[in-house]
Every structure is written in structure tokens, then in C-alpha cells.
Chains A and B, each alone.
Chain A
């Protein structure tokens, strides 16, 4: 008998295997359960057509951007507002992964791993930090161009305006959306998920490096005769600026001066300052990762370095990262991390924990940030025109990024306001828009005017 008793251990081993298996299942449940639950066929969270069954998306003022009425998901009444807020709100088919309906499905339905989908049929109210009005203005200002407009409060981190174009009406999805070039990349939120050649807006980084690394910078002058030969590259300038101090060179956005500065600084130094500025990092916006910018510093020739120093060559920058860098210059080196969800309110009226503002690291030193701010304010004074930005203590840098022989350049305009009551950093990109100041600057002016001066 004792022998058989010992052999009974096989029964315990099987029971142990079942226990271990349950452990594995529990582990997978805890790690992947969220994505299991957010399958479109989960009837607790989605309708039969895969549309999120409950939850209301509102803007910061409480304007309903999307909700469920009589079992059907609806959007804002105005078509332009629907287009302007599409990338923030999300579509019905789940193609725009960064939209709230897809990315924040758990918050909208109140789903959690511990509580499950209980009460999900009633849904929660999710308040975004954006204002539908600002998005509307920005979308109108883009005037059919592809691009992105974003404004955020660099002290709190709230994103007030976030538009990506091309966009479409989620209630009437164009039938040629996959084939028509007009809608190329329409599912992408360009602000979060794309990178672009920065052009002259990158000079804010080159200048930050120069201000710290070249001690006699402010006493030196550069002479621009329209172009300069560095190595085997000819760096072409937008004009013939003659002899200029650094401030003038920055205001003129002189490629000749900045290419020479970049060559003098060297690839390593530029790489260090680019990384410090956060342009190669990814930001986490309520769980949504931004695209990382990319640069190529390895085995770079002097001529290529000259182009890289003025934001050309292989430089690629994410609009959000650039906007945060602008915020950091405004904030003396640090900016608030941007976020999109103001608050959620459950069906029982219980609000979520308020957002806690987190700061970035030092993207630029405080002294340099102050100098940069003043020089960017001078840009507006000297080049862009202060009249275009009423009641704004604005600091900005434009960019006209060459993206190929046949194409019009990308127009950039990035900067911030120093107003105590309007601490906003912004970025505007108009793809193949043309001149930075003239095209993107106008878009920025219109949006900022609405935000600062009201309707």
C-alpha cells in the first residue's frame, strides 16, 4: 500500500499543473486582458458594427463632440467641427488609432480589469482639453492644406487646439478615401504620429548650441552673399543678407550664417543639443506615444552638416516635440508635459482624479532660453510683423523646409506667447504650403487671435 501511496503523487502533480496553468492564465489576463476586452466583437463595449457602445466625448467647454443617442453613435452637428476634431475624437471604423474613441475606449466605457465592463452600457463623460472652437478656426485657417496646428499651455500642459489635415467627415466617409491623393495619410494624426523636415525652425536648436558653445558669438558678424561653399556642398540662402550680427542672422533666417555656425560646432555638439531639446524623444500623452524625430549625424560631411544645421539634410522632427521645445524656451528651460484628457466623469457622476502636471527635463538652459526668447521676439519685430499678432508678446521662428525639387516647401511657424495670462506654445505646419512666415504664420495668427482675443 505504501508504494501505491507514493505513486499517488502523480495525482498531485496533475493538480499542480492545473494550478500552474491557472497562474499562466492569470498572468496573461493581467497583461493582455485590456486588449482582449477591447476587441470590436465585445458586446459589452461595442455595438454589432464595432462602434463603441457608450461614452461621451466633450471638449473643455462641455460641447459634445461624440455621444450615443438611441443606440447610435453621433458626432457634433457642424460638419467642419467634425472634420476639425476628427483626429482628437476618432472615427467609427477604428482607423484613427489615436482618436479618443479608440485610444480611450476604456475610460469612455469605464472598463477596468478589476471591475470589468460592469456599468459600461451607461458610459462615462470624457472631457478633452481641446476647444472645438479653436480647432474649427485652425482647420478653416489651413484652408484645405495638409498639415497640423497645435497650441498648448506650457505651464499646465493642456493641449487647447490639435488639428490634423487632411481630414474627413466621420459620418460621411468619402468613398474614395483609400484612392484619392487628397486623403493621403488621413488616418494619421500628424501632430502625434508624423515627422517632417523642420527647415529653419530647427535653427532654434543650432542657435541654442551656439549661444552656449561659442563664447564670442554676440561680438561676431557673418557675411552673406547669397550662398556659401562648405566642402562639396553649396549652401543657398533665401536672400543676400550682407554683414550681420547673430540676431540679424536669426531674424533673416540666414542659411549661410547658420551653416557656418553648424560646421564650427560640429556634429557631436549639434547632436547633444538636439537630443537635449527632446526632439529625438517620444512624449507620452495620456498613453499615446508621439513619434520620435530622427537625425543623421554619423559619417556626415561638413557640407551635409551645414545643411543639417539649418534643418535640412536628413533632419526629421515631430511637431509635438517641437511645440514642447518652444514651451521649454518660454518656461526658462522646462515645460509641462502635454496632455489631452481634462477629466472623466463616470455615469454615477464620480469625477476622475485631477490631472497632475508633470514637467519635462531641462531641454535648454535657463540663460540660453532667455536669450533665445528675446531673439525670437526680435524675429517678430523685424521680420514677421507684430501687427499680425495683436495683444500678444509673441516669440516665434518660421521655417520653409525644402522637401524636393518638384514640390513646394513645407511652411512652419513655431513659437510661444510670453503673456502671463496666455502662456501658450504653438506649432503650425502646412505641408507644401510655401513660405513659413507668410503661410504658416498667418494660420498661427488666426488661431492665436481667437484664443487670446476671443471671438
Chain B
């Protein structure tokens, strides 16, 4: 292996030596490609962003309730609230029905359960009163406050019509974006080699080449399983490419580590995505995840090392690791909940407890940026779970009060943020990093100085906390804004996708992950340009850092798990829908040919 890289290095050295003889060739190349990069970036992102933001999607249907007058109401989620309230999923405007009367939920093994939500009129299944919950089968009659509903499957015609509609809305083909991204990677790699000159390490072309291969492999493998949605992956791969470029410019020695981090991140993304497919499995492991979040943060607190003021690193041999990044994934996993669970435990006590422990640990580590991220994520999850503004305002007030007390007893904490808003007045002390970021960013102009041609990377934490400045300086304002725009797109998609989400678990987790990514980007970008205090958090996908990269990819799995468009996501089970259609077809055949042989359901894939 070492001999191979040594050989490749000599090969690269010959090329760079040749380049050094014709310096104008490099100059012309840089002058030309800086115009090309933003164009390519737009070509890469345009398809992905447009496809992610396109609405509305025809939702999946899981069955229907037939009203007394014969009109059917489709069940488009695994968890449906039935009631007189406008926000009910099955809206029934009868005076005898309560605002939130009952919930019809699809459990494991495709069994449905009806829950009475403390209704006045009562709930009956096939004439029997439902005390708390009762199983429901197709064909059963459900009586809500005297209104009879029949729980029915859809007919073949209805299902086929729906499937046709959904197929027409399939995600756009994405391979052109991948092609453009490959070109982008090749040009960026060349640009970095030209900028580094004769000292260019062979890791630059190897890492970029590796990323290209991984990207196409991922595409090819997923394509064989008939997955067609690659928008989020396009965005993630694009940002990861920028990350490699930033790393190559600031710390070429870390390139291999960063490439491995992308690879591990992709693996985590796949594993977590596949794990999320089964809601039952997910629910069983929520406790485990809560424990993992606490354990990760606790261990860091005990054996953590300090870097740039925050004690959030664990070093095992040559590897150093930031467990709080992975704790984010565990925290969202543990915090999200199905509707079923929300009926049982209305209050947030345990979740607040988990949050308290997590934020407490982070506070003790002096990692206030991550603590703020956890707090915002908590607010998003808590609001989505309870919708209770009053309690959350109270909690916010409490948090502000608590922060006030901490600052009163430990005023030195504030001194870290003292120059906020006045960075230029403290340009050589506490405003050092921010002023350098702004100056470098303004030097880049719209198109940037060219990758590898910046000076900001010599400022501490330039490729992590100040990475937005590096993007502006080396890649230009256009690409820096496109990178931020990508994150914004992900958050908007998460909010949009709720409409057709299967379970509230996925919806809450996706929104929490989207919000987390956006808030983290806010802290990173605005912290580095003095619009917010500089807290030292990373830019998702872009910052140099293994744990941060893995965490970003892991969070993306939550978004992937809420993408219910036809064949769009590997994190969505396609079996249940197919089986519904098959069952409907079977029933139709039985009617046509009562003596025909029944075909076995094909369960090749779940």
C-alpha cells in the first residue's frame, strides 16, 4: 500500500514539476474554472432542490373508512386521529363525535388498533364498547358517538389509480447531477493540485477519486434495488466534496481521515436508514438510544480532552473523537415518538429529564454551541409532541433564568463572547477569528480566489468553525450561499414531507434533524461573521472533522426515513404498500373466479 502511494506520489510530482515549468497554464486554468464552478454547482443542485421542494405528493393510502352515506375517507397515515376537529386526519362533522374522538393506528404485522381518546359519545367495534383500545380488522364496523363507519380495504381500481398517480410523481432522474458533480470533483481536484504546486500530496487526487467511486457505487447499488430518490444524497455528496476541498487546502494531512469519515458517514446513513424502516424495532430501541446519548456525553465528561476551550474530545490511541456529535443522533432518536405513545404519556417529563442531563453534561464541558443546538432541538421536538406553547415558554424562561444564574457565578464564560457585535474593535484579541473570516470572505468576491489559494486556513479552527469564511474566500460567495441554501432545502423538505409521513415518529425525527442542521448552520455561519457569538460548532457536511461528518450523514437518515414518495427512499419499506395492492387484486380475483387457485403472496422484500 505504502509503496503504491509512493509510486503515485512520484507520478504526481512529475506532473506538478511539469506544471511548474509552465506557470501560465496553471494561472489560466484557475482564471477559467472559477467561472465554471458556480455554474456546475447550480447544475448539480438545481434538479435536487427542485425535486425536493415540488409539492404536493399523493400520499400512500392504507385503507379507508366508509361513511353511512357511502362516501369513503382515505387513511393516509399509520396513525390517524378521528374527530370533529379540523385538524383531525379523519374529519367527521357530527355533533355526537368529540373533537378528538379516537385514533386508528397501524401496528406491527399490519394489525390495526383503535384507541378511544376519552370521547363523550364512546367508541364501539362491531357493537362492543372499546374501553381503552381494541383491535380492528378489515370489514369491521366502528361506531363513533353513534356514527357507523366501516373499515374497508381499497379496491384494485382505486389502488391502481393511486399507484399510477404516485408513479407519475416519482423523483426526477438524478444521474445528470451526479455527472456534473463528478466533473466538479475532477476540476476541483485539479485546481487544488495546481494551487499546491510541486508540494501537492498524492492524497488530494486519491481522496477525490475515492469520493467519486464511492458516490457512483452508492448510486449503482441503490439503483439495483429500484430506488430512485437521490436528491438528499446529491446535496450531501456535494457538500462533502466541498469538505474535502477545504480539508485539502487547510490540512492536507487529514484528507485520508476525512475521506474515511465520509465513508463511515455513508455507512451510518445506510444502517440507520435501514434500521428506521421497522417502526416496531425503532420503538423498542428508544430507551437504548436515550441511554447511549447520556453515556456518550457522560464518558466525554469523565475522560474528555480539551480543544479550543471545550472539553469535548475523546482520544483513543491515535484516534480522537467527538462523542457529542453522535449523541445528537441518539437524542433525536430517543426524543421522537409515535402518536400511540403520545396518548399514553402526554407529559414530557422523561424527555425533559433526558434533555436536562444532556445539556448539563455539555455545559460542564463548556461546549455551549452544542448545548444551544440540543436546546433548540429539544424545543422543536417538545413543541411537535405537545403543541404546548405555555409550557415551552415557561421552559425557555427557565433556561434564560438558569443561564443568567450560571453567568452570575461564572462570569468568565461571558468573556468568550464579549466581542460579539464589536469584532472589529477587538480585532487582535477576542474578535481575531471573526475579523479574519470577514476579511477573507470579502476577498473572495462572487467567484472566490480558487480552492487552495486562501490564507484564512492559517487561522485556528478555520476549516471547522470558520469554514464559511473559507468557502467564501476560496470558492466565492455564490457557492457559499448555495451550500447554505442546500441545508435550507433539507429543512424545508423535512417540514413539507410531514404531510405524507407514515408515523409521527418519522415526522418528528425528520423535523428535529432538519431544524438541528439549520440551527447548527446558523451558529456556524453567523458566529463566524459576528452576527451571533462565535460558539465553535461545525457546518454540517462541510467542516473538517470526522465525528461531525458522520453525525451529519446520520441525521440525514432521519430525513430519508420520511421520504414516502414512490420508490424514493431505501429507508422506507415498500412491501406493505405492495402487499395491500396484491391483497386487493386477490380479493377481486376471488370474486371473479371463486374456484380459482389462490396465489401465494410474494414476500421477497419487506
Which residues of A are at the interface with B, using a C-beta cutoff of 8 A? 1-12, 14-15, 17-19, 21-22, 24-26, 28-29, 33-34, 36-37, 39, 41-45, 111-120
Contact = CB atoms under 8 A, between A and B. Distances in A.
Contacts of B535: none
Contact of A1 (B439, B507, B529): B507
B488 A19 contact: yes
Contacts of B31: 118-119
B196 interface: no
A21 B525 CA distance: 9
Contacts of B501: 1, 5
Given A1-B79, A36-B438, A15 B495 contact: yes
Nearest to A120: B443
B34 interface: yes
Given A14-B515, A15-B492, A45-B443, A117 B484 contact: no
Contact of B380 (A6, A10, A17): A10
A208 B77 CA distance: 90
B87 A12 contact: no
Interface stretch (B326-334, B444-452, B568-576): B444-452
B491 interface: yes
Contacts of A4: 339, 384, 498, 504, 507-508
A288 B163 CA distance: 70
B554 interface: no
- The majority secondary structure among interface residues of chain B is helix
A11 B512 CA distance: 7
A120 B376 CA distance: 43
Nearest to A19: B488
A33 B442 contact: yes
Given A1-B89, A111-B443, 19 more contacts: A1-B504, A2-B89, A5-B501, A5-B507, A7-B383, A8-B495, A10-B383, A14-B376, A14-B515, A18-B488, A18-B518, A21-B526, A22-B484, A29-B477, A33-B442, A39-B435, A39-B439, A41-B427, A41-B435
A5 to B, nearest CB: 4
Contacts of B88: 2
Contacts of B455: 43-44
Interface in B419-448: 427, 435-436, 438-448
A309 B495 CA distance: 75
Interface in B459-510: 476-477, 481, 484, 487-488, 491-492, 494-495, 498-499, 501, 504, 507-508
Nearest to A5: B498
A349 B606 CA distance: 68
B314 interface: no
A25 B526 contact: yes
Between B435, B449, B494, the greatest number of chain A beta carbons within 10 A of the residue's beta carbon is seen for B449
B498 A117 contact: no
B507 A113 contact: no
A34 B442 CA distance: 7
B484 A114 contact: no
Given A3-B387, A14-B515, A37 B443 contact: yes
Interface in B374-414: 376, 379-380, 383-384, 387
B76 to A, nearest CB: 8
Contacts of B380: 10-11, 14
A301 B405 CA distance: 65
B37 interface: no
* Most central of A5, A41, A111 by chain B CB within 10 Å: A5
A21 B529 CA distance: 11
B514 interface: yes
A8 B443 contact: no
A18 B484 contact: yes
Nearest to A24: B531
Contacts of A12: 491-492, 495
B243 interface: no
A19 B487 CA distance: 10
Nearest to B516: A14
Contacts of B447: 115-116, 118
A113 B477 CA distance: 10
Contacts of B477: 26, 29
B81 interface: yes
B437 to A, nearest CB: 9
A113 B529 CA distance: 17
B605 to A, nearest CB: 26
Interface string B71-108: 00000010111000001110000000000000000000
Nearest to B508: A4
B519 interface: yes
- Which residue among A5, A11, A111 has the maximum number of chain B CB atoms within 10 Å of its CB? A11
A41 B455 CA distance: 10
A10 B89 contact: no
B521 interface: yes
Given A10-B511, A15-B491, A39 B498 contact: no
Contact of A14 (B387, B441, B450, B491): B491
B12 interface: no
B522 interface: yes
A19 to B, nearest CB: 6
Contacts of B526: 21, 25
Contact of A8 (B89, B449, B498, B518): B498
B491 A11 contact: yes
5 contacts: A4-B508, A8-B511, A15-B491, A112-B445, A113-B442
A10 B492 CA distance: 10
B455 to A, nearest CB: 4
A7 B446 contact: no
B515 A7 contact: no
A250 to B, nearest CB: 53
| Most chain A beta-carbon neighbours within 10 Å: one of B446, B492, B495 | B495
